[in-house]
Structure 1
Amino acid sequence: MDTLEHSEASELTAMAEAGAAYADATGTLVEVDATAAALLGAAAADIVGTAVADRLAVVEGQGWDGGDSGALARWQGVAVVRGSDPPRRLLVARLRLPGAASVWSFKDASAEERRRAKLTSRLMALDASFSGIAMADTAGALTYVNASFLEMWGHASADEVLGRSATDFWVAPEEAATVLQRTLRGAGWRGELVALRADGEEFIVELSASLITDGAGAPIAVLGSFVDVTERHRATSARRSEQERLRQAVRVAHLGIFDHDHRADSVYWSARQRAIYGFTADEEVTLEKFLACVHPDDLERIGGAVARAHSSASDGLFDAEHRILRRDGAVRWVKTRSQTFFDEDRALVRTVGAVMDVTEERRAADERERLQVRLAHAQRLESIGLLAGGVAHDFNNMLAVILGNAELMRTRVVHDALLAEDLADVVVAAEHARDVTRQLLTFSRRQVVEARPIAVNDVLGKATSALGRLLGEDVVLEFLPGDDLWTIEMDPSQLEHVLMNLATNARDAMPRGGRITVETANVRIDESYCRNEVGFEPGDYVLLVVSDTGTGMDPETVERVFEPFFTTKEMGHGTGLGLSTVHGIVTQAHGIVHVGSEPGVGTTFKIYLPRLDVDGLPALFVDDATAVVEPGTVLLVEDEPLVRKMTTAMLSSLGLTVIVAQNPHEALEVAGGDAHVDLLLTDVVMPEMSGPTLRQRVGAVRPTLPVLFMSGYAPNIVVHHGVLDDVQLLQKPFTLRDLAAAIRSARGDA
């Protein structure tokens, strides 16, 4: 073999990846490397000079006759090393060189088969993998994809994707290109990208990309592994949304959250929980510290409830409302609900729960209860007032007979001084009784009043001047009038009566003397205040405050202070109608009266009177000191026989002609006839028809006929809260002078 041929053969041998040998044209081996000698099972020196056919027996492959003459230029197959035990199979390749010499290559077929089997196994594993697997060459073209990749991207076969750019399968191809280039630089990449299915649907993929290199480290391919994490993202998003909703709900509900890990003996309190209890953000929390915050009056109950919830025999539930003492000393009400969990051996594991500050809710509940009590009290007073009004009505009818007849008898016994004096005593006693019934009527808001615009400071200023002399030297009366006080609508005498009753009550509560303070001011009541106070309506009020430094009252006494005939004074030292009269007067004026008192400290009455926003009402009638009237005819309608008889006599004594009707129907017959009538005098409350209805019926036939009502009390059909609707009313019982003045006013006599 010449030098060139040998040089070429040596180069080919050196470049061979397996065992290599060189044979001449006759098939005799002239050069064998160490790998080939090892594979052929002999030393290289022993092999050189022997024929290839003597060393190998062909098992697979065609065109090789054992020598070189006439054989194919290129040949490969499987041969068995002769004499090997067990038989060694070799992969054999031959290349004929110019000049009939040849180069041989040998590989261990068993190792190659194992390598191929391993590779096949790996490929099968890749194909069976749940993860999508793809391989791209260095140009980015796909060279391999597994079944999961095809399913993930929605393709029917590999033919649809092989050869396409690896960047074609993503919503943002530029991002995929960046990943590919980074991987080709050897950096590798792991992260998430949004992929695009064959039908256009988007999904999220977790991608892990790595570089494949050859033995020299040169890049030959990029391998990618893909996991569809769309559902995981949805679940995570849903969980985050749920957690966010929970956080928002906890925040809106102002809930504090706690978690006690009993095994680790660690306690977690949320920021809201710490704020409720007054703990700082970095302060350590323990069960003992929690119990130390429980109000002493609730500690035994709450401590027992906690112990029961932690007992292995319990259901682990804790649900309680209790007070706590914050670090700043404030007392708060909290509602706590928790669940304790146990392991299979009923050992404590953890306790989780929530806390809500319910202080304001408790206050609101207490306030509602207080308002309900006050409402019940007001309703009770209303019921008592209705009863008192009814009693006063009946009693006034009897007093009308007594007082009227006594006055008539006095006019007939002018020559009997002793009898006249006795009758005068009867009149005085009847008038005193009338005053009592009028107090009852005031309490029941049935007393007729002459309401008009008044300046409160002027009325009270005059009244306090007079009171100062009546209260005694050991009582200091101080009047503090407010500036620019608003005008109110009220009967000034009743306002004086209110002050008189409150001042005398205050004096009696200060047996050793003291101070009574009378104050006035303008106040504006808004809707929020009205929601917490029974009877109030939003608006402007004049506030009258009467306070004393007396003995004060306990809550039970305050509860009953406005009830008629209720008194704490000794027998004979009070009727028990003073404060009930005050309540009636103030309520009749659309006002509100509040009382606050504490034993040993004193009492304060606050009276709210609405600011005037309408013109004052006209006076009922003009009083007169004389019992004289112009002659005329009166149609008298009265269903009570004794009152009817007495009133007839009184009218006759005034020189008036009287037509008597026992009921409204008789009066209508008279009014429909030809009889001359100057005045209709009728009772208000009658069984068959009320006085106002009778006036309306009579007015239909005699529209100009004056009408004068008389009543033992003024019900709502005549009086709205005690203020007359442009009618003339004579209050029973009445004197001759009262009767004469009312008739003159009703007829408009000069």
Structure 2
Amino acid sequence: MAINKETETQYKLLRTAMMDAFAAVDMTGRYREANQTFLDIVGYKREELLELHRHALTPEKWHAHENRMINEQVLVRGYSEVFQKELRRKDGGIVPVELRIVLTRDPDGKPIGMWAILRDITDRIRREEKLRRFQHSVESSPDAVFWINAEGRFSYVNEQACRSLAYSHDELTQLHLWDIDVDFSREQWGPHWEAVSKAGGAQLERRHRRKDGTVFPVEISSHQVFLNNQKHHVSYVRDISKRRKTDDELRFFKHAIDTAPEGVFWMTQNGIFIYVNDRACKSLGYTREELLKMHLWDIDPTFPPERWAAHWAEMRTIQSRLIETVHRRKDGTIFPIEVSAYRLPYGDEESHLAFVRDITERQKAAEDRNRLEAQLLQAQKLESIGRLAGGVAHDYNNMLGVIIGYSEIMRTKIAPGDPLLKDLGQIQRAAERSKNITQQLLAFSRKQVFEPKILDINDLIHHFEGNLSRLIGEDIELHFIPSQDIGKIVFDPTQIEQILMNLAVNARDAMPNGGKLTIETNNVVLDETYCREHAGFMPGCFVRLSVSDNGVGMRKETINQIFEPFFTTKDVGKGTGLGLATVYGIVKQGGGFINVYSESGQGTTFKIYIPKTTGETEVLTASDSGPPESGSETFLLVEDDEMVRSMTGIILENLGHKVISAGGPEEAIEIFEKDHASIDLLITDVVMPKMNGKELHDRLKSICPELKVLFMSGYTTNVIVHHGVLDKGVHFISKPFSINELAAKIRKTLADA
């Protein structure tokens, strides 16, 4: 383009008035001119720009491409095709632009520079990105999606549609609706199009035919849309073969689950919605503009904002999940939903896509089944409560019998008119009132209301140990091994207690001659490999509750049926067969999993996995006041001081323990070699003649490696350390000690692994 003075003046007026950005460089690439639009885009003043080379405003990654356009097009034919690149603003920001470069020449035809006419395409790229997101969400849908034009031909189908019918995309877009719908003809299309258009949509069940001729039932949700002034019917189609089978099995509940069209929610890492479809807006009563300013926790009242970060991190591990929760409409009404949530990495971004379905009708249909399950669960619970009440009443009646008996004996030994008789009468009246309470306890039974809470399962089990001990009887040892720093769970504490009672009863019946019941808790992570080998499991972080016995065990054939309702190996009249089925149902309803490990003659272990959560725990603790905790274990007491040994022995016996006393290490070794199996704990002085307590414990551990020990001493900690006692994990109590102190230290020693 040759330029004279008059032409230059005309072009100067043109580039000043033009809406597009304009810039000129000389053949070295240095800027020589630009209009205000260009200056606004790059953020430079005109005098600043004229000091710069074109590469200074172009990120390095675009240099080669721009040079190629200049060398292969501008210098060859005088102009380039329209192409895209980026400009770097003065403030460092990047602006995408679309431009064409034109070569300028002097009157002699010699190249003297280049002009660039360009425009900012930021808004256009954003629109294209939004369109790609929408298309990606449709292609990710688990439902088949069909767009049908007025002629009945498929103008668009997603990948699921192709997979469900076994056609290629090109094949399917050449077909009509009546080519895949078994019961639909060409003649029916016109009336059908008009009816759906008038109603705005339709929900129906049909039969579709695959390419190989096989027929399968589908559920269709269809609605009308306009695109480019053309009317289309958009149909979401779902294969309901499995649901049809389920509907037949649930015929006695007299319902059919009608699945509504799905709402689509796209969320960013901050939990805000960046896209929602029409169904999402309609189901919640919000406009799209309103929803796009909201977060997940604004519509889900059960999901607190502080839980989002943990949920986002967990989804990176498990990738997808299917859950049931509730949504709250704009008018405040609550309705239940089923959510299929997926983690979707998209380019450099990460988001979550959720397909949401209203399950109000399905839940209503399940109410009858839930009522029956609640009745069975309550019957099982009442049976356990009755036995527990009997055990409690037996314990209380034994104690009250002693009180009443001794009161009566004392009354016979006190002279008439003695003031002590009045006090003794009060004791007897109080005892009689306590007796009445135990009689009421035997007849007690009432329905419980379950309320899930954020729990520390260790605290709950600690509080329930006494009830379990009475339930299983004195001939079965109960051991609880809690994990430190156990994770929190969301569960109904009453249901946890029901699980423990049912498993304890099952273990008790498996140990008719007595045995050991062990309860353990742990934090575990289930990975995809483990879940592939265990049907029904999903990856994630869990709290594991293990309940083990050393009873008769089970054969493989029995294990395969133990969770079936009414299955039992007990004699007629001795069990309903609902105990383990109830446990299974509770665990599943709580979002957990259960496994059982057993061999005939080798005992049984149930492992229950409950999802971990975050939040403040409702502490379930007993009062700190009260008498020292008693027990029934057998202790070997080794103390060379006779009075201390005697006094300690009396304390332990008053606490309910059996005490075997030894005056020194040699006597203790002789006793232990004869009968170590009955001894639960060694309580020994540290400093003794010939052999200290540490050496004694090491000697006895060679006989029984599991032997636990509590060291006693009147020496300071430094002295004990010099004797090599207080290694990590060693339990020690200083003399003198109170009953409460000794009882607490014993319980801690026995509880530690």
TM-score by length of 2: 0.32
Bigger relative CO (Cα 8 Å, ≥ 6 apart): 1
